[in-house]
């Protein structure tokens, strides 16, 4: 199974169980490899000890081959630090963190059952209005909790996610929608900072100010969430163009039509919430994600939202009843009855791998993350979309022309 550079792909083949000496992450022992990417690996794991616990977790650890690469280790430590300080029912929960005896940092997270929104969109876009309403309210709440997070001194961390996309929204079978992956989030306590000429995130989910440069605040995430909701309602891609340059231009200039233009059953108030989130002038957007959440709740007040358990069943059915095979393999590895196991399907728990090699840290040329491999996935419909991203290097001459265009546009 071939993967795109920098892209996390859940194991499509039977997960590999550790053999011989157990693979240990502090107080946790790996059961099975459930995913890997260019920067890290993710294992299903259980607490160590004489008494086995049915509490299965996800452990994300940097690849052993990168332990000696300071920039990758620092980036991973940044993610660990940020994730540990965000507390919200709508953010994937961090349980523990540490460093192995071989010097590899690791992050222990709750193992949440459910597909990503990207997977759900490919299976069932456009989504039913109640599901979009739940995604909108829960994701906005998770973003607000992250934006409001404070460090140990009580000072605001000023977190900006910068990668709010369907791949980083997890649809929990427990009825909760969670955001995940703070690997490229901006925060005051990061050891590494975005360099001039470097862009982080998925291009077709950029806000205009994110495309313009590294100076963004929480309202950038609100714009990106607006793109996600617009696409979930319409089953169309809003800004993605035929190439990088066109996508940049679309983010900066393309008129944003109302979701009602493609789907008449969208409530007018909900469509207006999405359009306000997509205002190119940050001053005209919602000031906070909490304000957006309240607007969503008001706009969908007459829509019947299923109870959490019903919502989970609905999501499972729409996504094609995922997870049974991998769930069974982890259950067998842990020698526990299936009834005690959490569903471990394609969880993507905070595992969107951002960089694939040290080449990505070459400051000689700008680097951008596109939402699709170049030359592939031209169809705007989600049915043929890919979750893959690729890192694309632009020639300096092209970069100079594009930068000149941005300066002209923003004057």
Active site residues: 163
N-terminal to C-terminal alpha carbon distance within the chain: 47
Three-state secondary structure along the chain?
CCCCCCCCEECCCCCCCCCCCCCEECCEEEEEEEEECCCEEEEEEEECCCCCCCCCEEEEEECHHHCCCHHHHHHHHHHHHHHHCCCCCCECCEEEEEECCCCCEEEEEECCCCCEHHHHHHHHCCCCHHHHHHHHHHHHHHHHHHHCCECCCCCECCCECCCCCHHHEEECCCCCEEECCCCCCECCCCCCCCCCCECCCCHHHCCHHHHHCCCCCHHHHHHHHHHHHHHHHHCCCCCCCCCHHHHHHHHHHCCCCCHHHCCCCCCHHHHHHHHHHCCCCHHHCCCCHHHHHHHHHHHCCCCCCCCHHHHHHHHHHHCCCCCHHHHHHHHHHHCCCHHHCCCCCCCCCCCCCCCCCHHHHCCCCCEEEECCCCCCCCCCCHHHCCCCCEEEECCHHHHHHHHHHHHHHHC
Question: Distance between CA atoms of 303 and 288, rounded to whole angstroms?
Answer: 24
Question: Distance between CA atoms of 394 and 402, rounded to whole angstroms?
Answer: 10
Instruction: Identify whether the C-beta of residue 351 lies closer than 8 Å to the C-beta of residue 42.
Output: yes
Question: Distance between CA atoms of 196 and 149, rounded to whole angstroms?
Answer: 26
């Amino acid at each position: 199974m071939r993967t795109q550079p920098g892209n996390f792909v859940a194991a499509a083949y039977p997960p590999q169980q550790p053999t011989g000496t157990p693979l240990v992450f502090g107080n946790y022992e790996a059961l099975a490899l459930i995913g890997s990417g260019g920067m890290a690996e993710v294992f299903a794991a259980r607490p160590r000890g004489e008494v086995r616990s049915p509490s299965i977790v996800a452990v994300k650890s940097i690849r052993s081959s990168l332990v000696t690469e300071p920039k990758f280790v620092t980036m991973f430590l940044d993610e660990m630090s940020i994730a540990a300080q965000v507390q919200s029912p709508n953010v994937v929960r961090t349980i523990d963190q540490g460093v192995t005896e071989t010097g590899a940092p690791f992050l222990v997270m709750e193992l949440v059952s459910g597909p990503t929104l990207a997977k759900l969109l490919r299976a069932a876009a456009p989504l039913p209005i109640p599901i979009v309403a739940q995604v909108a309210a829960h994701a906005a709440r998770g973003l607000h909790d992250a934006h409001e997070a404070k460090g140990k001194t009580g000072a605001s961390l000023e977190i900006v996610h910068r990668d709010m996309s369907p791949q980083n929204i997890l649809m929990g079978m427990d009825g909760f929608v969670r955001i995940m992956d703070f690997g490229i989030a901006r925060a005051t306590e990061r050891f590494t900072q975005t360099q001039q000429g470097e862009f982080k995130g998925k291009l077709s989910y950029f806000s205009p100010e994110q495309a313009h440069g590294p100076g963004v605040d929480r309202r950038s995430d609100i714009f990106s969430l607006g793109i996600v909701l617009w696409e979930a309602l319409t089953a169309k891609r809003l800004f993605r163009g035929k190439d990088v340059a066109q996508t940049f231009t679309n983010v900066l200039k393309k008129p944003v039509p109302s979701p009602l233009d493609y789907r008449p059953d969208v409530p007018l108030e909900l469509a207006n919430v999405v359009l306000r989130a997509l205002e190119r002038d940050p001053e005209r957007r919602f000031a906070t994600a909490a304000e957006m959440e309240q607007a969503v709740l008001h706009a969908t007040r007459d829509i019947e939202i299923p109870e959490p358990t019903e919502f989970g069943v609905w999501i499972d059915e729409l996504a094609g009843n995922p997870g049974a095979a991998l769930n069974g393999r982890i259950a067998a590895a842990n020698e526990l009855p299936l009834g005690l196991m959490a569903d471990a399907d394609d969880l993507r728990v905070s595992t969107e791998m951002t960089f694939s090699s040290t080449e990505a840290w070459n400051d000689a040329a700008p680097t951008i993350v596109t939402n699709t491999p170049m030359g592939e996935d031209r169809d705007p419909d989600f049915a043929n979309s890919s979750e893959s991203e690729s890192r694309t290097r632009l020639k300096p001459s092209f970069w100079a022309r594009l930068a000149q265009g941005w300066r002209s546009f923003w004057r």
